[in-house]
Each structure stands twice: as structure tokens, then as C-alpha cells.
Amino acid sequence: MLKRFVAASAVAGVVIACAAVGLAGLARVYQLQHPLTLTLIWCMVPAIWGVWAMLTPTPWMPARLPEWGAVLGLVVAIGALFVLNIPMRMTDVYLRMRWRGVGVLVGVAIYYLLWIAVRVVYQRLTTPAEVKTFKAAA
């Protein structure tokens, strides 16, 4: 389970670092109202991803890890766009429901792709004997 946590946290840490650089650039160009709100939320992402990876059903490891990540992406996108209304808090721009729905779909797709990277890191962390055990169980 620790390898799952490490793999997910490592990928999330790199994604957060890249996103922080992008947000700093956007904050200057668009004069974001509250850029620290998103930054504070992002501080929790590596830990959340690590715990989510630890909760992955054992039969899904590692082959269906991207689908499991997409489930997390669905939860996060719905929370960010519908519950917390991050676009309104950050830019004071109201998004219509249809654009929020598109945002949810994009969020799920992005999380799916990122969790492919988590799967690759996890597979690199496991020894060849452990990988054979997972393939035999699947």
C-alpha cells in the first residue's frame, strides 16, 4: 500500500508544481481575485491522491488504476465546479451549467490521463516478482 501512496503522491506533486507555475502566470495576466484559495486547496492534493491510491480495490491494481483515478476526477470536478464554484471564486465569472458539465468531463479525462502516469510510476516501484503476482491474480 505504501508504494501506491508514493506513486500517486509523486505524480501529484509534479502536477501541482507545474500548475502553480501556470497559476502564477495567469494571476499576472488575468488579475485573479483569490489565487491563494486554489493554492491552499492544492497543498492537500498529494495526500488525497496517495490515500485514494491506497483505497484502490486490489483486483484493480495496477491495470485499472486510471479508471479509479477518473472516479476521483469526477468527484473533484463536481466539487470544484458545482459545490465550491471555483471559477466564480477565482475570477468573479459565472459559468453556465452546460460549461460546468463540460468542465466535469474535461476534469475526468485529465484525471484519467494523470492516473496513467501513477500506474507507470507504481509499476516502476514494484519488483518484477510482484508484477507477475498482480498479473496472475487479474
| CB 40 within 8 Å of CB 7 | no
pTM of the predicted structure, to 2 decimals: 0.68
Q: Which residues contact 13 (CB under 8 A, 6 or more apart)?
A: 46
Parts of the chain with a pLDDT under 50: none
What is the structure's pLDDT at 58? 87
What is the structure's pLDDT at 70? 92
For cell 458545482, name the residue.
82
pLDDT tens digits along 29-48:
666 656 666 666 777 788 88
Residue extents of the structural domains in the chain? 2-127
What is the structure's pLDDT at 108? 92
Please, is 58 exposed, middle or buried when counting C-beta atoms within 10 Å of its C-beta (0-12, 13-18, 19+)? exposed
